[in-house]
Copies of this chain bind each other. A is one copy, B any other.
Amino acid sequence: MFQIDPFGRIPVYAQVISELERFVLIGVYKPQDQVPSVRALAVESGVNPNTIQKAYMQMERDGILKSAPGRGRFVTEEAKTIIQSRRRGQLDGLRESLRAFAQAGISREEILECLDEVYTGEGK
């Protein structure tokens, strides 16, 4: 239920954030829900507690989580909104990426095919 790949270029803490955000988007975690404690999530995911801590801290900074000292961490009301709007901002990143492919001689059609594959294919 919690997939982390310790190898590969994506930092583990970023993967943790990504997974948690995904859970918020699909409604596994709803506003006011309590998220697992650092320790609990660490053992469940096999990730170093320091790394979980780092992920939680950043999500707090982003306004997705809020911590109630001594009681735990909770999903904010605006979590879903924040995540979606931020992802929209990431389109800039995508644009840059696409530009790279364009420069690399990949045709618009090849990418379109790719796109359809994703949006008509299976949901996962």
Contacts and interface: CB of A to CB of B under 8 A. Distances in A.
Interface string A83-96: 11001101100110
A26 to B, nearest CB: 8
A122 B67 CA distance: 31
Copies of this chain held together in the complex: 4
A115 B112 contact: yes
Interface residues of A, number: 43
Interface in A1-38: 6-7, 11-12, 18, 21-22, 25
A25 B97 CA distance: 17
A97 B97 contact: yes
A105 B87 contact: yes
Contact of A115 (B67, B88, B98, B104): B98
